[in-house]
Amino acid sequence: MDNNKIVNKNDISNYSPMAMAFLGDAVYGLLVREKLVLECNRPAGALHTLSIKQVNAAAQAKGAKKLLSVLTQEESDVFKRGRNTHTKHTPKNQSEGDYHYATGLETLFGYLYLLGEEKRLRELFEIINGDGVLNSETGSDKD
C-alpha cells in the first residue's frame, strides 16, 4: 500500500488527533455504507437510516473495544492519543465515555488512511463488523 500513502510516517505527527478523527469519521462511514450496499440492496433513505445506527459514538465505542486486543503498539498509541484528546464538544445523546472511544477509533482510521493502509483498515473494520453485528443490528440477513 506504500504507493497509496498520502503522508509519510515521519510527517504524521504534524496532524492533530482531531484532524485525523475528522478524516477517520468519513472513512469509517464510507466502510459502513459500502457494507450496507453490498449486503442489503435497499433504497437510499433506508440505507441512510441503517448507517446512522452504526456511525455514532455508542456503536463506534463498542467497535473500538473489540479492537483493543488486536492493535499493534503503534496503533494502540494512536487510538489512545485520539481517545484522550480533550475537546470542548459535548456529545448529544451520547455518553462522554463512548464519545472518547469513538474519537479514538476515528483517529486510528484517519491515521491508517493517511498512511495508505487500506488492507489494515479493512481488517480492523471486519473485526468490528464481520461477525454479523452490522447485519443483526440492521435487521438484514447474511446470504
Instruction: Give the active site residues.
Output: 25
Q: Residue 44 and residue 86: Cα distance in Å, rounded?
A: 35
Q: Residue 127 and residue 51: Cα distance in Å, rounded?
A: 18
Q: Is residue 83 within 8 Å of residue 100, measured between CB atoms?
A: yes
Q: Is residue 50 within 8 Å of residue 40, measured between CB atoms?
A: yes
